[in-house]
Amino acid sequence: MIKQYRLANKLSQEELAEEIGISWRQLQRLEHNEENTRISTFKKIVKTLNVPDDEIIKFIKK
């Protein structure tokens, strides 16, 4: 989900990572579900990428 919305917003991993205050490597791991994240970081991601609530719920249920 993160990668899909990042690309839709025409952001590189580096740009999004800088925007939300994490390393691009950490973002890469999040996009590949290799790492869990803090709720505060997740909130920054969905806010920055304008992810709709229903998509957030789908993602969380997985």
2-61 architecture in CATH? Orthogonal Bundle (1.10)
pTM metric for this prediction: 0.82
Q: Where are the alpha helices (DSSP H) in the chain?
A: 2-8, 13-20, 24-31, 39-49, 53-61
**In contact, 2 and 49? CB cutoff 8 Å:** yes
Which residues touch 2 (CB under 8 Å, ≥6 apart)? 27, 30, 31, 45, 49
Q: How confident is the model at residue 52 (pLDDT cuts 50, 70, 90)?
A: very high
pLDDT tens figures, 15-26: 999 999 999 999
Distance CA 18, CA 15 (A): 5
3-state secondary structure of 1: coil
pLDDT recorded at residue 34: 87
Domain residue extents for the chain: 2-61
